[in-house]
Structure 1
Amino acid sequence: MSSEQPIQYPSPARRILITIPSMIASTMVFVDITIANVALPHMQASLSASQEQVLWVLTSYLVAGAIATPLSGWLAGRVGRKNVMLFSVGGFTLASMLCGISTDLGTIVFARFLQGSCGAALVPLSQAILLDINPPKDHAKAMAIFTIGSLAGPIIGPTLGGYLTDTLSWRWVFFINVPFGILAFIGMLVFLVRRQNRECPPFDKFGFLTISIALAALQLLLDRGEHLDWFDSNEIRIYGLILVIALYLATIHLATSANPFIRPELFKDRNFAVSTLVNTLLGMVTFASMPMIVVMTQSLLGYSAMQTGLVSLPRTLGAMIAMIAVTRLVALIEARFLLLTGMIIMSIGMLMYSNLDLFVDERTLVVTGFVLGLGSGLLFVPLSVVAFSTLQPRLRNEGTAMYALTRNIGNAAGISLLQFQYSHFAAQSQNSLVQGVRPDNPIMQYMRPDFDFNSVEALAGIKAQIMRQAAMVGDISVYHLIFLATVVTMPLVLLLRGRQTGKVDAATLPHGE
């Protein structure tokens, strides 16, 4: 087909009808990453599981998602994006139902693995759908809609999970997906269009196997390492060895195979390659910081799940305001400058978080969250637009899959790294504070002249205060570390090229699917 032939995009009304079920599906996946965390103690009691065993409810979901995400691009090219989306949202909904009715640990771990496997395709293919049904001039708006789900999901998850667990039961953390899943399935069935000019690439079994093993080992290492004291544990050493071997074999195979599972063409596109790297790093510092802020607000500041959700809303509001603005600004201002502006604002927000203390008021939390949300909202829309602006449309299925995968890897690595640093900073602070609690310390004599060192109750009370203060020091030290990491990432943005709006072949655009 000639490149001169005009490209026919769906009507604006049909775009909305395609966008709604796609966004419902992807947002469910984002919410489910964190929604089950707060319900773990209730699951542990209900399923008669140990603390170590119940963690597999989270780990199985993450491992399955890591394995299945890169497969989604190949499947979409092979059997069609609509078929993959329908199977994925249907499987995700059924797995959610199975999670809710589970009566033993083995069943719920299996159901969560199934849930993660089915949900893995929903995020990247939803992004690809929004890119394909909108003309290039509307890509910023489409990515703003997509980013709302990706940013709001991890924030809403813990609050929604806490509310459902407290008012109903932990089973409703999973049952809540069922009506939304059914709605998304019906919307996709009716409005998504099947494409006839699909690619049928051969399946690289060895490449998929080695990449899957490497991703599974990496996810297990990151998720289990914190609980098993990292490489002091034989289990973690085994994961590390498997990761190194599988990664070595995958790299050699991808470099020498005629039809590798991950096409090198993706990373020959400079914008996509650099955007993917920046996306990974931002996943480490942005998405990984969300759970820490939620935990700090609830455990240290004493906020309920509902109060935490209300305090977190300004962050989402700030992100939405920024994304609405950026959809217009991206056509007027080069994306690199918008990215740098977003990084600067986000670093200011993290710097504000690093100056909090245990006596912080709600107003400060609201303002700080709003600033952080503004920065986040300016980041991911222009980054997504630039990442796919020069990538060939026929590579979008694989491209969105790799883009989502690298963000998830960055998220998982960031959570593990930040948690490790938090434990280190908190332990240092606790040791320092404990050393000051002695009768001959003049500061102790001045601040607590009536303190009775022979009282078990008094010692227990001051120990609790020390642990709380040390935990806060750990949090603000990590926020400062995120601030520094954001600053260090900024120069990478300068490697991006300006957006190109050349003509494309209409035959390569998988409209609606």
Structure 2
Amino acid sequence: MSTPADTGPDCAGSLRFAALLATYMQSANLPLPNAVLRHIQGSLSMSDDQAGWIFTAYLAASAITLPIAQWLAARYGLKRVYQISLAVFALGLLLATVATTPLEFVGARLLQGAASGVLAPLSMAIAMDTLPLQRRVKFGATWTAIVLFGIVSGPGIGGLIAEHFDWRTIFYSSIPLTAYIFLVITLLLERKKPGPAPGFDFFGFATFTLGLIGLQMLLDRGPRLDWFASREICIEALASALGLYLFGVHVLTSKVHFLSKALLRDRNFVLSSLMFFALGFVLLSTMALTSPMLDEILGYPPDTTGALTIPRGVGLVGAFLLMGRVPERFDRRLFVAGGVAWVIYANWLMLGYSPLMDAWPVAVAGAIQGAGLGILMPALSKTAFSTLDPALRVEGTGLFNLARVYGSTLGVAIVQWWFFNNTQAMHTALAGNLTAYREASRSLTSAPTQVLAGLNEMITGQAAFIGVIGQFKILLMVMLVVSPLVLFLRKPVATN
């Protein structure tokens, strides 16, 4: 039974607020555990390589459900799908609070991510329906700013809560918000009878998903299972190769498929999507590295670790909003180049991090990187769609956002893998150099166990810090590799 919607402005405003709150909540929950990884790992006996699953599980599940959200809404009804997604999200939150093993916690994050991939586009659809046509054109920037604000403020909120309460409280805090959104949607959103299900390329979607999820599992599990010495890794590699091969053949031989060929013929769209992939790679990976560095290696408390993400958030959201005021006559390619340069400079500053530094280098580098990303994101969006056929913009928007999501999930997996390997190699190298000091090394053989444990902990900390710096080099290289693409962009067509 449905509840008719009140068409008055109060109802529209309440629905829009609930939809934007859901948008913020699902984006903030992605990095929410970032500032309290040490506490989560200690409680669940989670290894360092498993800690990366906290983010990749959420991102990968979101990337799977994001492309089919609109189809689900058209097939089963927007209200019903949205309510189920909220219920699944709340279930994931509850399961995270009662998890006692890494597998249980990762399973809870998978549920949260799967619901998030549906909530994000449908929240935007609900909010857009509450606005008059003339205001919908510029609303996309507001929605994106809220998504970004959620991503950059999540660690700060998580750290502040965890400093005064148990880490599980960070998930409890989202349950009342979920209940409020569910209540508003139930009472105010009209239940429309689902129409005929639109066409959807399930084969293309399935093979594309199989290829990327196989690659994701390969990168996540490889370091722990000694790569291709493991049968599991061989199966995941085979699944990834098979999925991507079948998807490639499907794209080349089928007239209608998951990704329209027309999108791939627009040079600006393709190049901008590649750069947007790199942007996602850098944004979440930096956060996944910085917070553990501060929390686990340098020993900062969770509230300080979370607070040090604020400069990046202020720079990102502030630059993004300022870009919305730039007149159309200015060539957006200049801003793309400027944004890339700012991000490269910020990543270069991160190479100078030291175990002896205070908080200022982290705050400054974060603010500069945030400003660069805040300039780059809207400039890339404008460039990507300015030359694209308007009939392809809906499909293009989905693919463009998917590029950022997959950039983030693969980026986190790659940096975690490299960190795991690099830390082990540096630990071996540093420990091996102790033999050069022969008298000191002889004395260690008779040293108390506590002394040896302390020495090993110090070496591990040094190796881990060197490993983190190595990760920042990867992020710098990613931006350097895509930076020449700016030269091949066509001048965007000015639009009103």
Q: Same fold (TM over 0.5)?
A: yes
Corresponding residue of 1:182: 179
**Residue 264 (structure 1) aligned with residue 255 (structure 2):** no
**Residue 343 (structure 1) aligned with residue 333 (structure 2):** no
| 8 Å Cα contact 1:66-1:219 kept in structure 2 | no
Structure 1 residue 324, shift from structure 2 partner: 2.3
Corresponding residue of 2:317: 320
Corresponding residue of 2:246: 249
Q: What letter matches 2:464 in structure 1?
A: A
| 8 Å Cα contact 2:28-2:150 kept in structure 1 | yes
**Residue 475 (structure 1) aligned with residue 468 (structure 2):** yes
**Residue 366 (structure 1) aligned with residue 363 (structure 2):** yes
Corresponding residue of 1:72: 69
| 8 Å Cα contact 2:52-2:412 kept in structure 1 | no
Structure 1 residue 250, shift from structure 2 partner: 2.3
**Residue 25 (structure 1) aligned with residue 22 (structure 2):** yes
Greater CA drift, 127-136 or 225-234 = 127-136
Q: What letter matches 1:475 in structure 2?
A: V
**Residue 119 (structure 1) aligned with residue 101 (structure 2):** no
Hey, what's the Cα distance between the residues in 2 that align with 1:489 and 1:463? Answer: 40
Spell out, residue by residue over 1:157-196, the C-alpha distance to the aligned partner (whole angstroms, 9 max, x if none). 3444455455444443332222222344455567778999
Hey, what's the Cα distance between the residues in 1 that align with 2:76 and 2:395? Answer: 14
Structure 1 residue 303, shift from structure 2 partner: 0.5
Corresponding residue of 1:416: 413
SS at match of 1:249: helix
Hey, what's the Cα distance between the residues in 2 that align with 1:110 and 1:416? Answer: 17
| 8 Å Cα contact 1:30-1:154 kept in structure 2 | yes
| 8 Å Cα contact 2:208-2:247 kept in structure 1 | yes
Structure 1 residue 240, shift from structure 2 partner: 0.8
Greater CA drift, 115-124 or 233-242 = 115-124
| 8 Å Cα contact 2:35-2:291 kept in structure 1 | no
Corresponding residue of 1:4: none
Greater CA drift, 330-339 or 161-170 = 161-170
| 8 Å Cα contact 1:136-1:501 kept in structure 2 | no
SS at match of 2:224: coil
1:391-430 alignment to 2 at 5 Å?
A: 391=388, 395-430=392-427
Residue 156 to residue 245, structure 1, CA distance change in 2 (3 Å): same
Q: What letter matches 2:431 in structure 1?
A: V
Greater CA drift, 419-428 or 94-103 = 94-103
1:25-104 alignment to 2 at 5 Å?
A: 25-36=22-33, 61-76=58-73, 78=75, 84-97=81-94, 99-100=96-97
Greater CA drift, 97-106 or 170-179 = 97-106
Greater CA drift, 484-493 or 267-276 = 267-276
Spell out, residue by residue over 1:132-155, the C-alpha distance to the aligned partner (whole angstroms, 9 max, x if none). 96879986x645433444444444
SS at match of 2:71: helix
Residue 137 to residue 112, structure 1, CA distance change in 2 (3 Å): closer
Q: CA RMSD in A?
A: 4.1
Residue 281 to residue 363, structure 1, CA distance change in 2 (3 Å): closer
SS at match of 1:174: helix
> If the length of structure 2 is used for normalisation, what is the TM-score?
0.81
Structure 1 residue 438, shift from structure 2 partner: 3.8
| 8 Å Cα contact 1:300-1:468 kept in structure 2 | yes
SS at match of 1:259: coil
Hey, what's the Cα distance between the residues in 1 that align with 2:468 and 2:53? Answer: 26
**Residue 500 (structure 1) aligned with residue 493 (structure 2):** yes
Q: What letter matches 2:487 in structure 1?
A: L
Name the count of aligned residue pairs.
487
Q: Percent identity?
A: 33
Structure 1: segments with no counterpart, 5+ residues: 1-9, 504-513
Hey, what's the Cα distance between the residues in 2 that align with 1:145 and 1:366? Answer: 25
**Residue 486 (structure 1) aligned with residue 483 (structure 2):** no
Hey, what's the Cα distance between the residues in 1 that align with 2:288 and 2:313? Answer: 14
Structure 1 residue 130, shift from structure 2 partner: 7.2
**Equivalent position to 1:456, from 427, 443, 447:** 447
Corresponding residue of 1:466: 459
Structure 1 residue 241, shift from structure 2 partner: 0.3
Structure 2: segments with no counterpart, 5+ residues: 1-6
Residue 361 to residue 142, structure 1, CA distance change in 2 (3 Å): farther
Residue 260 to residue 13, structure 1, CA distance change in 2 (3 Å): same
| 8 Å Cα contact 2:79-2:190 kept in structure 1 | yes
Greater CA drift, 237-246 or 458-467 = 458-467
Corresponding residue of 2:3: none
Residue 226 to residue 483, structure 1, CA distance change in 2 (3 Å): same
| 8 Å Cα contact 1:59-1:220 kept in structure 2 | no
Hey, what's the Cα distance between the residues in 1 that align with 2:452 and 2:134? Answer: 65
| 8 Å Cα contact 1:217-1:243 kept in structure 2 | yes
Structure 1 residue 297, shift from structure 2 partner: 0.9
Structure 1 residue 384, shift from structure 2 partner: 2.5
Residue 218 to residue 433, structure 1, CA distance change in 2 (3 Å): closer
Residue 493 to residue 24, structure 1, CA distance change in 2 (3 Å): farther
> If the length of structure 1 is used for normalisation, what is the TM-score?
0.79
Q: What letter matches 2:373 in structure 1?
A: S
| 8 Å Cα contact 2:277-2:408 kept in structure 1 | yes
SS at match of 1:207: helix
Q: What letter matches 2:205 in structure 1?
A: F
Q: What letter matches 1:358 in structure 2?
A: P
Q: What letter matches 1:385 in structure 2?
A: K
Structure 1 residue 95, shift from structure 2 partner: 4.0
Greater CA drift, 315-324 or 465-474 = 465-474
Corresponding residue of 2:331: 334
| 8 Å Cα contact 1:439-1:453 kept in structure 2 | no
Hey, what's the Cα distance between the residues in 2 that align with 1:247 and 1:372? Answer: 33
SS at match of 2:309: helix
Spell out, residue by residue over 1:374-393, the C-alpha distance to the aligned partner (whole angstroms, 9 max, x if none). 11211112222333444455
Q: What letter matches 1:35 in structure 2?
A: L
Hey, what's the Cα distance between the residues in 1 that align with 2:99 and 2:432? Answer: 49
Hey, what's the Cα distance between the residues in 1 that align with 2:408 and 2:348? Answer: 20
Greater CA drift, 401-410 or 311-320 = 401-410
Q: What letter matches 1:469 in structure 2?
A: Q
| Relative contact order higher in (CA < 8 Å, ≥ 6 apart) | 1
